[in-house]
Structure 1
Amino acid sequence: MRTLEEQIDVTTPVDRTWELLHRFADYPRFVDGVVRATPHGRNRARLDVEICGVRRAVDAEIVDHGRGRVMTWELVDGVHLRGTFALRPLDGARTQVQLRLEYDPDTLREDIGGPRGFAQSHTVEEAVRTDLEHFKEVVERPPTRR
């Protein structure tokens, strides 16, 4: 099992940042490969993903760990990925977003393809960094009025 930890500071209050993490419909805006995401039951989300040209649906189980602003998710349909988001308020207007991703390189390659060894680790790291940068862009945009 491999573990990757990344973090990014965003210029939004912790409550707004937390809210975006729970708006699954917005996931395609910042998670590469997610085409559509919808709530599915109380603690699940259905993700339509496209990886290496193959489209499929996977379910993620989501667990909130209360007031500590920690959310854990795990894919339950084959792909062996588990992640934890932890939000830490830096002040009233800024939040640190920490992501811990756990994956098994062998089963990840079997499930979605791609490179092996160091190249795979590098690919996963780059994808996570890019997704966090996209998350920052989305969460820092002013909310649209409805």
Structure 2
Amino acid sequence: MSTLEEHIDIDVPADTAWDCLHRVEAYPRFLDGVREARTEGDNRAHLDVDALGHTREVEIEIIDRGGEKVMMWQTTSAPDLAGTFALLPIDGEHTRIQARFEYDPGTIKEVFGGPRGFAQAAAIERGVRSDLQQFKALAERER
């Protein structure tokens, strides 16, 4: 497994960012490649994701540690992916979001295409940074 960690500071309180992060239906607005998303039960979500020009259905389980403002997620169907979002209050109006993404490079190549090796890691890093920038814009706009 490979691990990628990124963070971004946003200009909203941690509670506002937490609420925005939990609006599953808004995921297509900030997660590149997610065409549609919906909640399925208390701790599950269904995502329709663009994979090599086709829609692939992905089920995820979400585990919250709300008191700590940590959201962990894990796919329950292929591909095997996992991650964590941790919200760290900077002050009353600013929050740092730390994102951690765990993946198997071979699985990413097989399911989503793209380059291999270092080029793949760089592409995933750019994608995660872009998703975080889009989340920042969404959370700050909907504040």
TM-score bin, normalised by smaller chain: over 0.9
Displacement over 2 Å in runs of 4+:
none
Residues of 2 paired with 1:72 and 1:142: CA distance?
23
How big is the shift at 1:115? 1.2
Matched to 1:117, the amino acid is G
State how 1:26-105 maps to structure 2 within 5 Å. 26-105=26-105
Residues of 1 paired with 2:17 and 2:43: CA distance?
19
| Count of residues in correspondence between the two structures | 143
Asked if 1:138 corresponds to 2:138, the answer is: yes
How big is the shift at 1:21? 0.6
* % identical aligned pairs: 51
How big is the shift at 1:113? 1.9
In the alignment, is the contact (CA less than 8 A) between 2:52 and 2:111 conserved in 1?
no
Q: Deviations over 1:94-113 (max 9, x none)?
A: 00000011111012212222
In the alignment, is the contact (CA less than 8 A) between 1:59 and 1:75 conserved in 2?
yes
How big is the shift at 1:56? 1.6
**What root-mean-square deviation, in Å, do the aligned CA atoms of Structure 1 and Structure 2 show?**
1.0
In the alignment, is the contact (CA less than 8 A) between 1:79 and 1:112 conserved in 2?
no
